[in-house]
Each structure stands twice: as C-alpha cells, then as structure tokens.
Amino acid sequence: MAKPLILINLKTYKEGMGSRAHAIATAAQLVASESGVTVGIAPSYIDLHPLAKHFMVPVYAQHVDGAAPGAHTGQITAEALRVAGASGSLVNHSERRLTLADIEASVRALQAQKLGSVVCTNNDITSAAAAALAPEYVAIEPPELIGSGVSVSKANPEIIRKSVAAVHAVNTSVKVLTGAGIQSGECVKIALDLGTDGVLLASSVVKAEDPKTVLRDLASKI
C-alpha cells in the first residue's frame, strides 16, 4: 500500500487564511517529517502559490475547472494550478458540487498537467461512478458525518467499507480517502483499517488552537 495521506482542507475558514495557513503548513511539514505520513493541505486559491513554493508538503487546490485556458472568467484551470506548484486538486467537494461531465473534464485536465485528483462523493454508488473516471483518490464523505463531530467508527463504518469495495470493483488502482468523521488518531486508524488510504478532514485541524498537536495525534496510530 502507498503511504497514507492526511489531507487538510482549509476551506474559507478565517483560521485557515494568510499567516494561519502558513502556520498549518509548517505544522504539516513538521509532523510529516516526524511521522513519515504524507500530510497535505488544500488552502484557498490565493494562498496556493506561496504555500507550494515555501513548503515541501503536497498542496492541493479546493476546486478546479475542467476547461482549457481561455475565455472563462472566474475559473481556475489545471494549467494555472501546475504553474502555481500545486500537487493536485479536490474535485466535486460536497460544498462545490459539479456535473458529471465537469467532474470528468476536471480529472482529465488535472491528468493532462500530471496533477493528482481527489474526487469527493457521498455514498458507495457515486464512489463507484467516480472510480470509473480513474482519479488518484475518491474521498467518501457520508452526508450524515459531514461536520458532525461524530467519529466514522461510531456512526457508520459500513459505508466506508462498501465504498472501498465499490471503488475497487470498478478500478483497483484508485485509492480511497475517508472524507468525514475524523477527529483523532484513533479515527485515522479505523479509517485505514476499513481499507482506505488516508483521510480528508478540515475543522478539527484548521480550527485547533495548536494544529501541530492535533496533527501529531492524527498521525500517531498509523
């Protein structure tokens, strides 16, 4: 199995902007080097270029449009992400849903720039559909766990297991992230035990007083 990934979505949280984004990236880099776990961050578009330049951790965009450069006001191209030094992008996050045609175009556009893609999904069936697009990762976010503060282990571990099976039934080389219900190292361990290759999480790191301590805990049982 590839090295597990802990991917932190900074969203547009006030606690994830500007100097705070740098502090989280610093913590991510430190914990990655201490633990050997890959810790990535997905900051706002505006912080993406400086963070990608100043840190060794993978930096993902939170969204990308599938269109080639051109007359597309207000969009983000995969080409612009590559030039900015990004490692890839989230695609179809639950807070930024896309049409199926656009998800596919975004994954293709990222691949054409040799960038990774993390396609977010809401259940095992849409996870299987996403797997057919051959992204780097599918991140399953069960709606009942999003922002709930409930651990995936307590709520509904079965949906994670079913999603992993559904993804691999379509494409065995697509990796899976547990995209909600992660608060602690124990949750991360359960996520990996359920067959996923890492976790996607947000507020528990971004809003933490000390992100380093939270990240150390998250990486502690891998």
Lateral strand order in the sheet of 5-9: 38-42, 5-9, 198-201, 175-178, 137-140, 116-121, 88-91, 60-61
| Positions marked active-site | 93, 141
Q: Which stretch binds a second copy (CB under 8 A): 32-40, 126-134, 180-188, 213-221?
A: 126-134
DSSP string, 122-151: SSHHHHHHHHTT--SEEEE--TTTTT----
Q: Which of 8, 48, 139, 164 is in the footprint of a second copy by CB under 8 A?
A: 48
Q: Are 81 and 118 in contact (CB under 8 A)?
A: no
Q: Which residue has the tokens 């971004």?
A: 206
Q: Which of 121, 163, 178, 196 is in the footprint of a second copy by CB under 8 A?
A: 121
Q: How far is CA 12 from the centre of its chain?
A: 15
Shortest reach from residue 35's CB to a second copy, in Å: 26
144 to 183: interface string for a second copy, x by CB under 8 A? ---x------------------x---x-------------
Site residues (CB under 8 A) for a second copy? 9, 11-14, 17-18, 42, 44-46, 48-50, 61-63, 65, 67, 69-77, 79-81, 83-84, 90, 92-104, 108, 121-123, 125-126, 128-134, 147, 166, 170, 202-203
